[in-house]
Amino acid sequence: MEFSARQIASIVKGNIEGHTEKSVSSFAKIEEAQEKDLAFLANPKYEDFLYTTQAGIVLLNHTQVLKSPIRPTIIRVEDAYSAFASLMKTYQQMQSTQLKGIQEPVFIHPTAKIGSDVFIGAFSYIGENTVIGDNSKIHPQSYLGNQVTIGARSVIYPGVKIYHNCAIGNDVIIHAGTVIGSDGFGFAPQTDGTYQKVPQLGNVVVEDQVEIGANTCIDRATMGSTIIGKGTKLDNLLQVAHNVEIGENSVIAAQTGISGSTKLGKGVMIGGQTGIAGHIRVADGTRAAGQTGITKSVNKPNTTLNGTPAFDAKAYLKSQAVYKRLPDLEKKILELQATLDKLISEKETVSA
């Protein structure tokens, strides 16, 4: 598919500098782009590539000042990075609309309700009373249990498993290998040292416009719902335990674990390999650096955390500066101790 500068500018609401009918058919990094590629510049450290790139069209911020003439046609926008991402999304959607129909073999229960223009890939399983909304794509080898609901325009990639009674909203993307609605980790210790399994009778609710990375596990609630709020983005390899609630528009990076019944507020940003204890609350706008250990509730909104156990990020950085100096500080303390011992010894000798 080819797009002219005029078409692209109309999509991103940009202003063209150069040939309005210049066309491109693919996307590339500005340093690697060729004649038929669209590129962008948003980070100033890549500015030198602007004057050497072979790209056909480049998206630039309105504020970008040219130091000399450049070869590509320019489309100026408010935010080049966002505009580029928007164009890539549009391109992807145009490609995905080609996927329609039901491949064979699949199992679809007679009571399942399938919307219009749905794609269901081969070797998928669609359970009893399950509903799939219009224009959704269920890729091969997916499992949708009984009474699952999938909203409109959602994409379920290969090998995703969604257990019974779970609800997925509109415009949701779930990547390969993810499991939604597996049992929460609930076991009651017995007097004889064994553990009795606590039935997990709730479900998982994934609200609209959520994206979930590959091989992430989101456990069903013991009772009620585990909830992933609207617009939230989850990375690969996350563990979200039973009865967790994640607020709207939160972002959580890979290998993070969230223990049971913890409630995260809106707009929370969590770095990779962070651990969050159970039965606590994390306030709106909280930010945690990678490998942070959040062991107690965060009550103040827009707090930035680091370290384990987590504390204020600025204080953490000061502590790290001191930590690096500990060998030198130990050496000085030992020298001072030796000097003090010598002075005490000399004083005792004089007194004698």
Do 183 and 115 sit in the same domain of this protein?
Answer: yes
Q: How far apart are CA 301 and CA 53, in angstroms?
A: 44
Number of domains in the chain: 3
Strands 15-17 and 23-24: unpaired
Do 125 and 229 sit in the same domain of this protein?
Answer: yes
Do 23 and 70 sit in the same domain of this protein?
Answer: yes
Do 91 and 105 sit in the same domain of this protein?
Answer: no
DSSP 153-172: T-EE-TT-EE-TT-EE-TT-
Do 341 and 292 sit in the same domain of this protein?
Answer: no
CATH of the domain at 51: 3.40.1390.10
Do 84 and 206 sit in the same domain of this protein?
Answer: no
Pick the last residue of a domain from 28, 62, 96: 96
CATH of the domain at 115: 2.160.10.10
242 catalytic? Reply is yes
Burial class of residue 70 in the structure, from the number of CB atoms within 10 Å of its CB (0-12 exposed, 13-18 middle, 19+ buried): middle
Q: Which of 19, 139, 242, 279 is catalytic?
A: 242
Do 247 and 334 sit in the same domain of this protein?
Answer: no
Do 53 and 22 sit in the same domain of this protein?
Answer: yes
Residues of the domain holding 154: 101-314
Helix, strand, or coil here: 33? coil
CB 291 within 8 A of CB 328: no
- Crossing angle, helix 313-324 and helix 326-351, to 10 degrees? 60
Q: pLDDT (tens digit, 0 to 9) for every residue of the chain, 352 residues total?
A: 789 999 999 999 999 999 999 999 999 999 999 999 999 999 999 999 999 999 999 999 999 999 999 999 999 999 999 999 999 988 877 776 678 899 999 999 999 999 999 999 999 999 999 999 999 999 999 999 999 999 999 999 999 999 999 999 999 999 999 999 999 999 999 999 999 999 999 999 999 999 999 999 999 999 999 999 999 999 999 999 999 999 999 999 999 999 999 999 999 999 999 999 999 999 999 999 999 999 999 999 999 999 999 888 888 888 888 878 889 888 999 999 999 988 888 887 777 6
Do 69 and 108 sit in the same domain of this protein?
Answer: no
60: left (phi over 0), alpha (psi -120 to 50) or beta: beta
In 3D space, the residue among 50, 98, 93 whose CA is nearest the CA of residue 70 turns out to be: 50
The whole-model pTM stands at: 0.82
Do 193 and 164 sit in the same domain of this protein?
Answer: yes
Do 155 and 263 sit in the same domain of this protein?
Answer: yes
